[in-house]
């Protein structure tokens, strides 16, 4: 075993949506492997609290917070401009920020469905493209997209969320092939129900919770750290021959027929 293949020392990672939930757990995981970080979220106060908490836990790492909305193209440029000005390129991009409005297909206003596309999909596409020149400054770099089981099968998320996450899977496969010769690996993860503030509402209904658990072979909700571990692996040199793949972090949900 070569321990260096399980370390990210000297690498800089950009994690979007890192002030809470899965993104914050990913930030912790990457810091634990030795990376320096730029974390992004919209709420500046929440981001500062997260940054301080991470800095206390990892005083030897460089951690910066940048308040930005990945739905907004000016903000996307501002994020990569910051990286360009302050870092020696970029090693890792984690497209994690995302959100949803769940309703029947015919009930979405145009602003609502277009907004979900901007936040979940176009954000990841544009950030990946804007990051490309910074990622290619290193011999090997990686992008990990946080998708969802909703992009693979029907779940009760609403069609728009499912469409954005399905397109994210195909974007992952295409960019993996297109950018392999540039030394950029592109992979994704597809979580099922994970315990975050986003899911606390629906899961607080005991009947709904029981239905979710009944359809999950491992009979429990996932933890943000369990998604972060899969993302961490896809960032590590240990996964150097893996690209275009998706790891489901779902307690067996996608494999469960009847």
Ligand X SMILES: NC(=O)c1ccc[n+]([C@@H]2O[C@H](COP(=O)([O-])OP(=O)(O)OC[C@H]3O[C@@H](n4cnc5c(N)ncnc54)[C@H](OP(=O)(O)O)[C@@H]3O)[C@@H](O)[C@H]2O)c1
Helices (H), 143-246: 159-179, 197-203, 206-214, 224-235
Segment contacting ligand X by CB under 6 A, of 134-142, 190-198, 208-216, 231-239: 190-198
**Nearest-approach distance from CB 168 to ligand X, in angstroms:** 9
**Nearest-approach distance from CB 192 to ligand X, in angstroms:** 6
DSSP assigned state of 143: E
Q: Is 41 in the site for ligand X (CB under 6 A)?
A: yes
**Nearest-approach distance from CB 160 to ligand X, in angstroms:** 12
Among 116, 146, 175, 184, binds ligand X (CB under 6 A): 146
Q: Is 22 in the site for ligand X (CB under 6 A)?
A: yes
Q: Which is nearer to ligand X, 132 or 251 (CB)?
A: 251
Q: Which two tokens stand for residue 229?
A: 């571990």
Q: Which is nearer to ligand X, 124 or 175 (CB)?
A: 124
The string of DSSP letters for 29-89 reads HHHHTT-EEEEEES-HHHHHHHHHHHHHH-TTS-EEEEE--TTSHHHHHHHHHHHHHHSSS
Contacts to ligand X from residues 60-89, by CB under 6 A: 69-71
Q: 26-46: string of b/e by CB count within 10 Å (b at 16+)?
A: bbbbbbebebbbbbbbbeeee
Q: Is 145 in the site for ligand X (CB under 6 A)?
A: no
Segment contacting ligand X by CB under 6 A, of 171-179, 188-196, 205-213, 238-246: 188-196
72-80 — which CB contacts under 8 Å span 24+ positions? 73/126, 76/123, 76/126, 76/127, 76/130, 77/130, 79/14, 79/16, 79/38, 79/40, 79/127, 79/130, 80/127, 80/130, 80/131, 80/134
Between 159-179 and 110-117, two packed helices, what is the crossing angle to 10 degrees?
Answer: 30
**Nearest-approach distance from CB 181 to ligand X, in angstroms:** 28
Segment contacting ligand X by CB under 6 A, of 28-36, 92-100, 106-114, 235-243: 92-100
Active site residues: 161
Contacts to ligand X from residues 198-257, by CB under 6 A: 198-199
Segment contacting ligand X by CB under 6 A, of 42-50, 58-66, 172-180, 211-219: 42-50
Q: Which two tokens stand for residue 247?
A: 């790891």
Q: Is 23 in the site for ligand X (CB under 6 A)?
A: yes
Counting residues that bind ligand X (by CB under 6 A) gives 30
Binding site for ligand X (CB under 6 A): 16-23, 40-43, 46, 69-71, 96-99, 119, 146, 148, 191, 193-194, 196-199
């Amino acid at each position: 075993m070569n321990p260096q293949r399980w370390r990210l020392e000297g690498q800089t990672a950009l994690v979007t949506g890192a002030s809470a939930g899965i993104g914050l757990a990913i930030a912790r995981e990457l810091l634990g492997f030795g990376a320096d970080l730029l974390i992004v979220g919209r709420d500046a106060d929440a981001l500062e609290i997260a940054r301080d908490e991470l800095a206390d836990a990892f005083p030897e790492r460089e951690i910066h917070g940048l308040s930005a909305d990945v739905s907004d193209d000016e903000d996307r440029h501002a994020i990569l401009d910051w990286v360009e000005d302050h870092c020696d390129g970029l090693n890792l991009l984690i497209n994690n920020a995302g959100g949803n409005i769940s309703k029947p297909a015919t009930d979405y206003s145009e602003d609502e469905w277009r907004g979900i596309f901007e936040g979940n999909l176009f954000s990841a596409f544009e950030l990946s493209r804007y990051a490309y020149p910074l990622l290619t400054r290193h011999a090997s770099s990686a992008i990990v997209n946080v998708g969802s089981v909703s992009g693979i099968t029907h779940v009760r998320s609403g069609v728009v969320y499912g469409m954005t996450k399905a397109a994210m899977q195909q974007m992952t496969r295409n960019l993996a092939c297109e950018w392999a010769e540039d030394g950029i690996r592109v992979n994704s993860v597809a979580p099922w129900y994970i315990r975050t503030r986003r899911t606390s509402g629906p899961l607080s209904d005991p009947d709904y919770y029981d239905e979710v658990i009944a359809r999950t072979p491992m009979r429990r909700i996932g933890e943000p750290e369990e998604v972060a571990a899969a993302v961490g692996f896809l960032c590590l040199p240990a996964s150097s021959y893996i690209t275009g793949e998706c790891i489901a972090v779902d307690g067996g949900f996608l494999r469960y027929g009847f």
